[in-house]
Copies of this chain bind each other. A is one copy, B any other.
C-alpha cells in the first residue's frame, strides 16, 4: 500500500463542519469567544465561513475529519485553507489524547467523535503517523501522534521567505457532554517515551499513568485541578490489535477495566499556560514527516510560551508554506518530562504575515533558519539536538526514527548557544565578543523538552536590553 493512500481519507470529501463545531462556537461566544473576536478586530467577520476568504481576510477552520492530519506533516497534503498575507484565521485544535477519558473529552462533541471514530470496520482518520500503512500496531505506526489542523496554504510563500504567525487569542474547548457543562478537560500521560519511564522508584515498573485535569471552560480561573489518575493497562483496539503500551494514538481507554485513584494531589492547583505544542510548516526534505521531533520549520516545539500574545517566525521550506497546528496544551513545564503536558483541545486565533526573502536583510529575520518566538518581553531561540534532523538522519520515515535514539540536552544546548550568538550578531550588528558577553550576563537557557526525540533547549533574550539602542 502506498504511503499516501490515506490522504483521500483525510482530505477527500470537503464535508461541512460537523455539529460539534456549531455547538462549540455557541459555547465560545457565550464564554469569552465573542470578546476574543472583538479584541482581534474582526468581530464583523466572525461568520464569514470556512476556507474561503470573502474579502474580509478572516477565515474559520474547524477541526473535522477533512481538515486534520494525524501524526504526520506533508508538503503533499491537500490544503485545508488558503490565506493571503495579513489574513486572520480561527483554527480549532483537537487533542490527540482525548481517548484517555471518552466521557469528558469526546462524548457529545460530534466533531471530536467523528475524528476519533474507529470500529472494527475502520477509522475515519486512518493514517496516524508517518510510518507504514500496514504497520502491525496500526496505519502510520504511530510514528507521530498529534492531530494537526491544516495545512494552511499561504499564497506567494516560497522557500527562503519567513512566515510570521501571530497567536492573537486562544480558548479552551468546552466538554460536549452536558454532564460536564462549563468545564474543559485535559489529560497528562506519563508515557513510555517519558524521561521517567526507565528511572522509576515505585512498583510496578515500568508503568504508564494517565492523570485527568479539569479547567474552567469560561476562563474565570487561571489554574487546572487534578481530578483522578489511573495506570494505563494493555488493551485491544477496535481492529483487534493488542497494545501493551500506549503505542498508537487515538486509543480509547476502557474505564470499566481501570482502577481510578481519586483524591490525588489534594489542594493542588496547576497554573495554566495555554499554548500550542505543535505549530509549524511542512519541511521540503520528506513527503511524510513524523510529527513528534521538532525541526527547523517548527513542529512539535513544545514551548509553553507559544500562547496568546506570542508570535512565531518560521523559515518557509516549500511553496505555500503549509502551516499546521496541533497539540494544544493547558499547561506544561519546561522539559515536559513525563512525555506530555496537560493535553487539551483549544481553539486559536491566528494572523499570518509573509516576509519575502528579499526584504529580510537588515531585519531581525535575517538568516533565520529556525523557529523564532517573540513574546511581549522576550525573543526566544529554539535549539535542538539536531537543527535539521531530516537532513542529518535521512528523510525516509524509517530513517527519521534514528533521532529518538540519539538525542541529548548537551547537543541542544550547543545548538541554542550558536543560534543565539548568530541572532545577536545578525540582527543587532554585534561583534562575536559583544554577543558572547551579552549572552553570559543576560540570556537564560532552559530545557524545552526531553521527550520529543529531537530534544530542545531554548534561549530567552529580554527585549529591554535594547531599549536604549538605535537598533532596539
Binding site for B on A (CB under 8 A): 188, 190, 194-196, 199-202, 209, 211, 213, 224, 226, 229, 231, 264-271, 331-342, 408-410, 413-414, 417-418, 421, 430-434, 436-447, 450, 457, 462, 464-472
Q: Which of B201, B333, B414, B441 contacts A331 (CB 8 A)?
A: B441
With A271-B462, A433-B229: A446-B446 Cβ-Cβ less than 8 Å: yes
B446 touching A447 by the CB < 8 A rule? Answer: yes
B437 touching A333 by the CB < 8 A rule? Answer: no
Q: Which of B195, B231, B268, B341 contacts A417 (CB 8 A)?
A: B195
B465 touching A190 by the CB < 8 A rule? Answer: no
A447 touching B445 by the CB < 8 A rule? Answer: yes
B466 touching A267 by the CB < 8 A rule? Answer: yes
Measured between beta carbons, the chain B residues less than 8 angstroms from A194 are 436, 440
Q: Closest Cβ of chain B: how far from A440's Cβ, in Å?
A: 4
A447 touching B437 by the CB < 8 A rule? Answer: no
Measured between beta carbons, the chain B residues less than 8 angstroms from A331 are 441-442
A-B contact pairs, 27 of them (CB 8 A): A188-B441, A195-B417, A202-B431, A202-B433, A209-B433, A209-B437, A211-B434, A231-B433, A264-B431, A264-B434, A265-B430, A265-B469, A267-B466, A267-B468, A269-B465, A269-B467, A333-B440, A333-B441, A334-B445, A335-B440, A337-B417, A337-B439, A339-B440, A340-B440, A409-B409, A413-B447, A446-B446
A433 touching B211 by the CB < 8 A rule? Answer: yes
Q: Closest Cβ of chain B: how far from A252's Cβ, in Å?
A: 21
The complex places the Cα of A401 from the Cα of B262 at a distance, in Å, of: 50
With A201-B432, A409-B413, A417-B196: A439-B338 Cβ-Cβ less than 8 Å: yes
Q: Closest Cβ of chain B: how far from A5's Cβ, in Å?
A: 36
Q: Closest Cβ of chain B: how far from A118's Cβ, in Å?
A: 27
List 3 A-B pairs, minimum CB-CB distance, nearest first. A267-B469, A338-B440, A334-B444
B469 touching A333 by the CB < 8 A rule? Answer: no
A337 touching B440 by the CB < 8 A rule? Answer: yes
Q: For A407, give the chain B residue with the smallest CB separation.
A: B410
The listed residue with most B CB atoms (<10 A of its CB), out of A418, A438, A440, A468, is: A440
Q: Closest Cβ of chain B: how far from A409's Cβ, in Å?
A: 4
The complex places the Cα of A188 from the Cα of B409 at a distance, in Å, of: 26
With A430-B265, A464-B269: A335-B441 Cβ-Cβ less than 8 Å: no
Known: A211-B437, A332-B441, A333-B439. 10 other contacts (CB 8 A): A190-B433, A196-B417, A199-B418, A229-B433, A268-B465, A331-B441, A334-B443, A334-B444, A340-B440, A445-B446
With A341-B441, A417-B196, A441-B341: A209-B267 Cβ-Cβ less than 8 Å: no
B413 touching A335 by the CB < 8 A rule? Answer: yes
B268 touching A436 by the CB < 8 A rule? Answer: no
Measured between beta carbons, the chain B residues less than 8 angstroms from A441 are 188, 213, 224, 270, 331-333, 341-342
Q: Closest Cβ of chain B: how far from A35's Cβ, in Å?
A: 25
Q: Closest Cβ of chain B: how far from A193's Cβ, in Å?
A: 12
With A335-B413, A410-B408: A229-B432 Cβ-Cβ less than 8 Å: no
The complex places the Cα of A268 from the Cα of B462 at a distance, in Å, of: 11
The complex places the Cα of A410 from the Cα of B414 at a distance, in Å, of: 12
Q: Closest Cβ of chain B: how far from A381's Cβ, in Å?
A: 12
Measured between beta carbons, the chain B residues less than 8 angstroms from A444 are 333-335, 446
Q: Closest Cβ of chain B: how far from A318's Cβ, in Å?
A: 30
The listed residue with most B CB atoms (<10 A of its CB), out of A229, A334, A436, A466, is: A436
Measured between beta carbons, the chain B residues less than 8 angstroms from A199 are 414, 417-418
B196 touching A446 by the CB < 8 A rule? Answer: no
The listed residue with most B CB atoms (<10 A of its CB), out of A332, A441, A457, A465, is: A441
The complex places the Cα of A432 from the Cα of B261 at a distance, in Å, of: 13
B447 touching A265 by the CB < 8 A rule? Answer: no
The listed residue with most B CB atoms (<10 A of its CB), out of A267, A333, A444, A469, is: A333
The complex places the Cα of A88 from the Cα of B455 at a distance, in Å, of: 45
Q: For A264, give the chain B residue with the smallest CB separation.
A: B434
